Chain A
């Protein structure tokens, strides 16, 4: 059974870079046709797609965050990662990693439990 688990610091200082990793277990991140994504949810608010990556390294980013976001993949560790630079309090949110149920133009069928990241000095 495929599972995703986010990890990373729960507290990041303003202007610094938020770094999170999603570890995939129970299956290979290199499986053909699946994209892998990051979604976030500020406290008490709705969901925002951040970006997605294919095991080959092909990426799509939300234009609203593109200048600050980097998503990468490490197939040897079965992980993909998110970096968000120059963070502010507005980046405080629960960050989820998730699998697209097929290619990029598909819904998210498997989600990690989420990790809360607070931006504060």
Chain B
């Protein structure tokens, strides 16, 4: 079945830019959603349909999706952005898949 590959961890200094990738075969043909999960909390949708943000999510969060990689970019990183980030797609079979998650650490 379809596999989504994320790096286990990404480290970034405050004020810099964090990039979280999500690899998949021709993922550019799918809609990708991104979630942020802080310890002990439920996940929060931060980007849907590759690049759109739900209300309340700052413009610092952006997404792109092309060919075999989808990317979540967090600009001007703040300490509060430290969390696990997951990408998600759905398959024509009806199955929904999550990537393995990326832990973003703010140095």
Are A and B genuine complex partners?
no
